[in-house]
Amino acid sequence: MLPVATADRAATPLEALFTATSAACVTGLVVVDTPTFWTPFGQVVILALIQLGGFGVMTVASLLGLLISRRLDLNTRMVAQASTRSVQLGDVRSVLVGVLRVTVAVEGAVALLVAGRLMVGYGASPGEAAWGGVFHAVSAFNNAGFALYSDSLVTFVADPWICLPLCLAVVLGGIGFPVIFELYRRRRAKPSRWSLHTKLTLATTGLLLVGGTALFLALEWANPRTLGPLSIGGKLLGAVTQSVMARTAGFNSVDTSAMNEGTWLGTDVLMFVGGGSAGTAGGIKVVTFVVLAFVIWSELRGDPDVDAFDRRIAPATQRQAVTVALLGVAAVLVPTLVITATSHHGLDRVLFEVTSAFSTTGLSTGITADLAGPHQLILVALMFLGRLGPITLGTALALRERPRMFRRPESAAIIG
């Protein structure tokens, strides 16, 4: 809200709150135009919030403690372990340092590529190119979706030198740090030796990216306001970019508001599922989604156990997946009902905005800025809930499991 943060007028408390929450929760939804409303100082504040939000409050606190005291006490290690999903308690220090190294390496490499392209291909000055490269690299790796262009990445829809590095940063940030660390530690091992979590995350991520690309190509191929005017290569790149960004990144290389309603619905599903656990993506997480899929498949086959990649999924994991998914559905449906009933916007657009807020994606059909103040506050709460809710709920469910000294008589209920 400082005057130095805005260009023409002071930000209202709601505008400042909404933007700060969107940045800290690495969402990307906006109620004001980022490149014109905020000054470079305001954009630096947004970028700092994105970086802090991407690291995670507990991870940042542990890193600061490590830098100051060069040691971690047991309580700090336990908090950090819950945040980073590290398996061994003694590995927490190396995990935290590894998070920092991976973040700096990915963001630095992507920033160099994007900055170089902006200078060579678009005539940007070295200062403008450097700032653009750093801002978009940090925003991409943290799955935030804030851009320094009013149309996000629409200008670069057919430019692979801009879109592909940002897509790579989004995927690496979204699959989760545990997967990155395991791939590095077992880089010489066969995929069959990977952990079940890594197998589920990578396989489901790949299927959703391919499926999302096919969805955008099929539904938007002839749309004159999105992929229609592009060449075949441009259409493919645009579809790949949109599929990646729907995984809670929030950039858009085509006009989201001009998409078909069927594409909106498909994007809702991709946003709701989200990315990997302990990463910068939101949603209910891909492992939650695929565990439910395996539960359904086992039930249809009549198998007593739920198996995946030659491993049996624990019943506690199945219950946690059901709980997280159903509470996520409720967190989307209730606000959608409230906003639809009290505004003039249609169900498809409201559902899209609510899902985008809960999944901390940031894609928008263009109605966020037009919503009334109470509706924007609902989105603020959803962004906060979507950033911390699934992680907190999953951890709480795992910690609450306790043995019982008795079991009640078994009975059955009629299903279907």
Q: Which of 31, 29, 25 is nearest to 50 (CA)?
A: 25
Residue 97 tokens read as 């340092």
The pLDDT profile of the chain, 416 residues, written as one tens digit per residue, is: 999 999 999 999 999 999 999 999 999 999 999 999 999 999 999 999 999 888 775 565 445 544 544 444 555 555 555 555 444 445 566 767 778 888 999 999 999 999 999 999 999 999 999 999 999 999 999 999 999 999 999 999 999 999 999 999 999 988 887 788 888 888 888 888 888 889 999 999 999 999 999 999 999 999 999 999 999 999 999 999 999 999 888 899 999 999 999 999 999 999 999 988 777 788 999 999 999 999 999 999 999 899 998 889 888 888 888 988 999 999 999 999 999 999 999 999 999 999 999 999 999 999 999 999 999 999 999 999 888 777 676 666 666 666 777 888 887 787 77
Using CA atoms, how far residue 307 sits from 200, 290, 318, in Å, is 12, 11, 11
How many Cβ atoms sit within 10 Å of the Cβ of residue 121?
A: 12
Using CA atoms, how far residue 277 sits from 16, 196, 284, in Å, is 29, 13, 9
- Residue ranges covered by each domain of the chain: 3-398
State which amino acid sits at residue 406: F
Alpha-helical (H) ranges within 25-91 are 34-37, 40-55, 57-69, 74-84
How many Cβ atoms sit within 10 Å of the Cβ of residue 79?
A: 18
314 in helix, strand or coil? coil
State which amino acid sits at residue 350: V
Measured CA to CA, the distance from residue 250 to residue 261 in angstroms comes to 18
pLDDT in tens, 191-208: 888 888 899 999 999 999
How many Cβ atoms sit within 10 Å of the Cβ of residue 226?
A: 28
